[in-house]
Structure 1
Amino acid sequence: MRPDTGWRFNRLFDAPHRLAFAAATWMLMLISLWWAMVNLAGGEGVAMHWAMAPATAHSLLMTFGFMPLYFIGFLFTAGPKWLGRPAAAARDLLAPLAAQVVGWMVFMLAIHGRDPVFGQSVGAIGLGAVVFGWAGVIRRYLSMWAASRVADRVHPTVVAVGCVFGLIALAVAAAGVAMGDPPLVHGATHAALWGFVGLVFATVAHRMIPFFSAAAVPSLDAWRPLWLLWCFVAVFALEAAFAALDAVATIAPHSLQIGRAAAEGLTGIGLLALAVRWGLVQSLRVRLLAMLHLGFTWLGIGLLLSGVSHAVAAAGGAPALLGLAPLHAYTMGFLGSTMFAMVTRVSCGHGGRTLAADDFVWRLFWVLQLAIVARLVAAVLREASAAWSVALIAAAAVGWAGVCLAWGARYGHWYGTPRPDGRPG
């Protein structure tokens, strides 16, 4: 009798990463396709109904809509190993995952209603379900953390702090949607981009990138001093505070602008130097490793661009010389590329497949990089050439969506099929 190798829903319960990554990938594909259609419709002059500001909906979905779901898969796959605890059961995660996915479905229904009150009420209900689901995940993770007796719990602890901050920020954003207060939503969402999503990514990068690099390239060492992690924590906490301040202060004090520009510029240069120290050049020989390193490099680029933009503003120039270019270098570049690389690695390593980026994934990664560059150029051109800016934004959105759909289709299929090596998990 031939073994059943078809896609089966029940196989999502074979391992936590299968179930969580499947939910995350579904949301990533849906949100990316929605945003591409919004940009294409806008470029063609097609009017759409909006029950809330497009920027509000976009920022909430891109920050909280899929990244935390990927975190769940990682936390309950690597987390038990970090904490010396038994492996987690995927079925235990079903309820909080389902609450989040259903909540986002409700929220997306509210976005394009004709009545803003409908958008506020139904959108807040959807976000309330997401908050409930994420709280359930954090409760399970903190229980695992509290039961751990390993000596080194620094990285899991920083991740836990970031996740709790994300829960608080999401709850504040939900309240902002309910009250029709876009600045409150903006502040909470952008603070979470740094204090939650970015902090978790940077903590995992500090622990894993040097380790992966040394394992793949013998000439490299796994250099990751603990003080470097605390520098990461300080940088992301500072940027989260700046993001919250931007939402409530129309004009920051001049001295604060200068200090922010200097801090971001110097940090960006330091992070680019760190990328080289961690083996950026040597990593280019190993595709999967190169993807991780190039993703991390975008963090330094984003902060350096932000520092330049704030320096020009402090000197009396254009208040936002580079527009949203620094933000998208950070979000699409660092967060997007690192997500792409990390999820690919976990899906291969825990799916019984070769731990490598094949031609399909490698080409998709470079299409993603082109989409990032297009979005950055669009931000810089917004004043000089509005038509080109709109076209490039649409191209970036379509490129991002195309990559996510193709990438998601492959790995979404993997999560519901047996491991090719015949092992469980």
Structure 2
Amino acid sequence: MDRAAPAWRAARLLSAPHRLGFAVGAAAMGLLALWWLGVLLARHLGVALPWAVAPGLAHGLLFTLGFMPAFMAGFLFTAAPRWLGRPALDAHVLLTALAQWAAGWLLVLVGVHAGPWLAALGMATAACGWLRLSLRFATLLRAPGAHARWLLLACLVGVAAMLLACLSLLEADTVLLRAALRLGLWGFIVPVFAVASHRLLALAGAAALPMAGGLVLAAAADVGGLPPWLLAPPLAAASLALLAPALRALLLGRLAGESRRLLAMLQGGFAWLGLAMGLQAVSLALQAAGRAGLGATPLHALTLGWLGCTLMAMVTRVAAGHSGRPLAIDRLGWALYRLLQLGVLLRVAVALGLTAGLLPAAALWAAVATAWAWRQGGWLGRPRVDGRPG
């Protein structure tokens, strides 16, 4: 029997941490993308769905914390041992904790429609699973470097955000749930992506200061409490300092062909990060002038744009490299990436009020997420194409 015939084999997914983590993350991302598309389609058709949690908050909770950590686990437990000079980790030791995390989020997905107690139970289960993974990561750090220390701290903040979300669901406290989402995004997801980007991309090293400073300012603006006129000017400066080199590198990468597309994808994420900071600066300037800000526009540029592009590029890079494939993006991969850009532009346009209806943007995101997840799943479930183990 040809060993490469089945695309999904449990033994193959357990052969390396990135295979297991990426497979769980891809499945969760595709499921949630289809769920949200179904929600918007039902709304468009006038079908009333039951909600135990407000739709916007349910969307924010599931899309902020419901699939990214699985990708992070695959990345951290593959890359960190190499960074720290430790032996490669056996994926079997992650299986039960990652399964617990995934089962928790399935309960949350059902609970946002069926009842807050079920959603809270799911959050508690997911938090326990992520705590186990974080403690496992801590065991690798006997002599941690700076990157690893920041990553561990961010992972523990992620546990706190999930527990806070659990409490907010139990208390039906929307203010507390929004606080949990902000903590999860700015204290967990964004720092991990920033550290990983700095580690992997030369452009991030050159722009480390504006990236770090801009993210801190953007977080302060999103959380609130500081006057807009104080935050807008330095945030605009950070945006320009990051956006100009990112766009230049992206243009050069796109002109260089397949061999440079992967790097261009990573740099394209930084272009969205700079744009998100610029949009936040404009929003703050409008508020300082007594006018309405841009609402969730900067947030979607950050999450769908920077996080989405970076996730697609990093996971493709790791999956291709560890499956014996060349680190180049073929036509299908590049087409999916370009569709992602269109989806982000549509979502930003909706947030700006330039076009009506979330359904086209959600349909594009669902198409990209499911097609990309299916392709990555095919890679992860097969042996290496060069015949090497792992």
TM-score tier, shorter chain, comes to over 0.9
Query: Given residue 304 of structure 1, which amino acid in structure 2 is its aligned partner?
Result: G
Residue by residue over 1:159-195, the C-alpha shift from the partner in whole angstroms, topping out at 9 and shown as x without a partner, is: 2222222221222122111111112111221232122
Which residue, 274, 277, 286 being the options, matches 1:303?
277
Question: 1:65 Cα shift?
Answer: 0.7
Which residue, 300, 317, 330 being the options, matches 2:291?
317
Are 1:376 and 2:355 counterparts? Answer: no
Question: 1:282 Cα shift?
Answer: 2.5
Query: Given residue 132 of structure 1, which amino acid in structure 2 is its aligned partner?
Result: C
Which residue, 282, 296, 301 being the options, matches 2:252?
282
Gaps of 5+ in 2: none
Are 1:396 and 2:361 counterparts? Answer: yes
CA separation of 1:186/1:79 partners in 2, compared to 1, >3 Å: closer, same or farther?
A: same
Q: Which residue number corresponds to residue 170 of structure 2?
A: 178
Are 1:243 and 2:222 counterparts? Answer: yes
Are 1:13 and 2:14 counterparts? Answer: yes
Query: Given residue 337 of structure 2, which amino acid in structure 1 is its aligned partner?
Result: F
- Mapped partners of 2:44, 2:348: distance in 1: 18
Are 1:412 and 2:377 counterparts? Answer: yes
3-state SS, counterpart of residue 51 of structure 2: coil
Question: 1:55 Cα shift?
Answer: 1.1
Instruction: For 1:92-241, list aligned pairs within 5 A.
Output: 92-113=93-114, 119-145=115-141, 147-148=142-143, 153-210=145-202, 224=205, 229=208, 232-241=211-220
Question: 1:101 Cα shift?
Answer: 0.6
Which residue, 258, 269, 291 being the options, matches 2:265?
291
Are 1:424 and 2:389 counterparts? Answer: yes
3-state SS, counterpart of residue 389 of structure 1: coil
- Mapped partners of 1:325, 1:184: distance in 2: 22
- Mapped partners of 2:204, 2:246: distance in 1: 12
Gaps of 5+ in 1: 114-118, 211-221, 246-251, 383-387
- Mapped partners of 1:58, 1:347: distance in 2: 28
3-state SS, counterpart of residue 411 of structure 1: helix
The answer to whether the 8 Å contact 2:18/2:75 transfers is: yes
Query: Given residue 120 of structure 1, which amino acid in structure 2 is its aligned partner?
Result: P
The answer to whether the 8 Å contact 1:20/1:72 transfers is: yes
Query: Given residue 215 of structure 2, which amino acid in structure 1 is its aligned partner?
Result: F
3-state SS, counterpart of residue 186 of structure 1: helix
- Mapped partners of 2:170, 2:209: distance in 1: 36
- Mapped partners of 1:276, 1:54: distance in 2: 35
Moved more, 154-163 or 400-409: 154-163
- Mapped partners of 2:58, 2:20: distance in 1: 26
The answer to whether the 8 Å contact 1:187/1:243 transfers is: no
Instruction: For 1:337-356, list aligned pairs within 5 A.
Output: 337-356=309-328
Query: Given residue 125 of structure 2, which amino acid in structure 1 is its aligned partner?
Result: A
Identity of aligned residues (%): 41
The answer to whether the 8 Å contact 2:210/2:239 transfers is: no
Q: Which residue number corresponds to residue 68 of structure 1?
A: 69
CA separation of 1:42/1:3 partners in 2, compared to 1, >3 Å: closer, same or farther?
A: closer
Are 1:262 and 2:229 counterparts? Answer: no
- Mapped partners of 1:28, 1:140: distance in 2: 24
The answer to whether the 8 Å contact 2:210/2:241 transfers is: no
- Mapped partners of 2:298, 2:219: distance in 1: 15
Residue by residue over 1:261-282, the C-alpha shift from the partner in whole angstroms, topping out at 9 and shown as x without a partner, is: 22322221121134257x3332
Give TM-score, length-normalised by structure 2: 0.94
3-state SS, counterpart of residue 161 of structure 2: helix
The answer to whether the 8 Å contact 1:261/1:311 transfers is: yes
Query: Given residue 162 of structure 2, which amino acid in structure 1 is its aligned partner?
Result: L
3-state SS, counterpart of residue 268 of structure 1: helix
Residue by residue over 1:252-300, the C-alpha shift from the partner in whole angstroms, topping out at 9 and shown as x without a partner, is: 56xx1111222322221121134257x3332222211111111111000
CA separation of 1:159/1:274 partners in 2, compared to 1, >3 Å: closer, same or farther?
A: farther
The answer to whether the 8 Å contact 1:191/1:243 transfers is: no
Aligned length: 385
3-state SS, counterpart of residue 329 of structure 2: coil
- Mapped partners of 1:2, 1:161: distance in 2: 44
Question: 1:313 Cα shift?
Answer: 1.0
- Mapped partners of 1:3, 1:371: distance in 2: 37
The answer to whether the 8 Å contact 2:247/2:268 transfers is: no
